[in-house]
Amino acid sequence: MSNSIESFMKRVIEKNPGESEFHQAVKEVLDSLESVLEQHPEYADAKILERIVEPERQIIFRIPWQDDKGNIHVNRGFRIEFNSALGPYKGGLRFHPSVYIGIIKFLGFEQIFKNSLTGLSMGGGKGGSDFSPKGKSDNEVMRFCQSFMTELFRHIGPDTDVPAGDIGVGGREIGFMFGQYKKLRNEFTGVLTGKGLAYGGSLVRTEATGYGLIYFVTRMLEDRATGWKGKKVSISGSGNVAIYAAQKAIELGAKVITMSDSNGFIVDQKGICLETVKRIKELERGRIREYTNEHKSAIFKERFQDVWSVPCDIALPCATQNEIDQNAAQALVKNGCIAVGEGANMPSTPEAIEIFLNEGVSFGPAKAANAGGVATSGLEMSQNSIRLSWTFEEVDKRLKTIMDNIYDQCVITAEKYGKKNNLMAGANIAGFLKVADAMLAQGIV
Ligand code: NDP
| Cβ of 204 less than 6 Å from ligand 1 | no
Given this model, what pLDDT does residue 416 score?
Answer: 97
Q: 240: Cβ below 6 Å to ligand 1?
A: yes
Q: Separation of 225 CA from ligand 1 center, angstroms? A: 31
Q: Is the CB of 128 under 6 A from ligand 1?
A: no
The pLDDT of residue 408 = 98
Q: Of 306, 332, 360, which residue sits at a domain end?
A: 360
Residue 429 resides in a domain: no
The answer to whether residue 73 sits within a structural domain is: yes
Does residue 61 lie within any of the structural domains?
Answer: yes
**φ and ψ at 21, to 5 degrees?**
-65, -40
Q: Is residue 227 within 8 Å of residue 218, measured between CB atoms?
A: yes
Residue 269 and residue 158 share a domain = no
At residue 89's C-alpha, the angle toward residues 86 and 90, to 5°, is 105
Q: 180 with 145: CB under 8 angstroms?
A: yes
Domain with residue 212: its CATH number is 3.40.50.720
Counting the structural domains of the chain, the total is 2
DSSP 228: S
- Measured distance CA(347)–CA(363) in Å, rounded: 12
pLDDT at residue 4, as a whole number: 83
Active-site pick, 114, 126, 231, 434: 126
420: exposed, middle or buried (Cβ count in 10 Å: 0-12, 13-18, 19+) = exposed
**Full domain range(s) for residue 166:** 3-188
Asked whether 173 lines ligand 1 (CB < 6 A), one says no
> Cα of 233 to ligand 1 centre, how many Å?
18
Q: How far is ligand 1, taken at its centre, from the CA of residue 191, in Å?
A: 23
- In a shared domain, residues 213 and 118: no
CB atoms within 10 A of CB 87: 19
Domain boundary among the residues 360, 386, 415 is at 360
Assess whether 118 and 225 both reside in one domain.
no
The identity of residue 103, as a single letter, is: I
Residue 154 shares a structural domain with residue 238: no
Task: Let me know whether 183 and 214 are in one domain.
Answer: no
Q: Whose CA is nearest to atom 4 of ligand 1?
A: 239
**Is the CB of 262 within 6 Å of ligand 1?**
yes
340 by DSSP, 3-state: which? strand
What phi and psi, each to the nearest 5 degrees, are found at residue 71?
-70, 145
Whether 343 lines ligand 1, by a CB cut-off of 6 Å, is yes
How confident is the model over 241-252, as pLDDT tens digits? Answer: 999 999 999 999
DSSP state of 282: I
Longest dimension (CA), the chain: 63
The answer as to whether 15 is a domain residue is yes
Residue 1: its pLDDT value, please?
A: 65
Angle formed by the axes of helices 3-15 and 20-32, to 10°? Answer: 160
Is the Cβ–Cβ distance between 328 and 300 less than 8 Å?
no
Helices vs. strands in the chain: H and E counts, helices first: 18, 12
- Cα dihedral 309, 313, 317, 322 sign: positive
| Residue nearest ligand 1's atom 11 by CA | 261
167, 214: one domain: no
Q: CA dist 238 to 233, 307, 330, 408, 439, Å?
A: 14, 13, 24, 29, 38
Using only C-alpha atoms, what is the Rg of the chain?
21
Q: Is 102 in the pocket of ligand 1 (CB under 6 A)?
A: no
Cα dihedral sign, 103-382-316-340: negative
Which stretches of the chain score pLDDT less than 50?
none
Does residue 9 sit in the same domain as residue 126?
yes
Same domain, 68 and 156: yes
Q: Tell me which of 96, 261, 287, 289 to substitute to probe ligand 1's pocket, judged by most ligand atoms within 8 Å of the beta carbon.
A: 261
Angle of the 350-358 helix axis to the 20-32 helix axis, nearest 10: 30
Q: Which helix (H) or strand (E) covers residue 112, if one does?
A: helix 101-118
Distance from residue 2's CA to the centre of ligand 1 (Å): 35
pTM exceeding the 0.75 threshold for the entire prediction = yes
Q: What is the CATH number of the domain that holds 16?
A: 3.40.50.10860
Residue 296 appears among annotated catalytic residues = no
Beta bridge partners of residue 255, listed in sequence order: 232
CB 94 within 8 A of CB 104: yes
Regarding whether 314 and 233 lie in a shared domain, the answer is yes
Shared domain for 19 and 110, answered yes or no, is: yes
Q: How far apart are CA 29 and CA 19, in angstroms?
A: 16
Ligand 1, atom 33, lies closest to the CA of: 344
Instruction: Taking the CA atoms of 245, 239, 91 and 397 in sequence, report the sign of the dihedral they define.
Output: positive
Q: What is the pLDDT of residue 198?
A: 96
Residues 308 and 228 in one domain: yes
Q: Are residues 236 and 100 in the same domain?
A: no
Kindly report the protein residue whose alpha carbon is nearest to atom 30 of ligand 1: 344
**Using a 6 Å cutoff on CB, does residue 243 contact ligand 1?**
no
Q: What is the best residue among 136, 166, 243, 259 to mutate for testing ligand 1's pocket, by most ligand atoms within 8 Å of CB?
A: 166
Give the whole-angstrom CA distance, residue 409 versus residue 430: 7
Partner residues linked to 298 by β-bridges? 268
Hey, which of 211, 241, 272, 307 would you mutate to test ligand 1's pocket, going by the most ligand atoms within 8 Å of its Cβ? 241
What pLDDT, on a 0 to 100 scale, did the predictor assign at position 130? Answer: 98
CA-nearest residue, atom 15 of ligand 1? 320
Spacing, Cα 344 to ligand 1 middle (Å)? 7
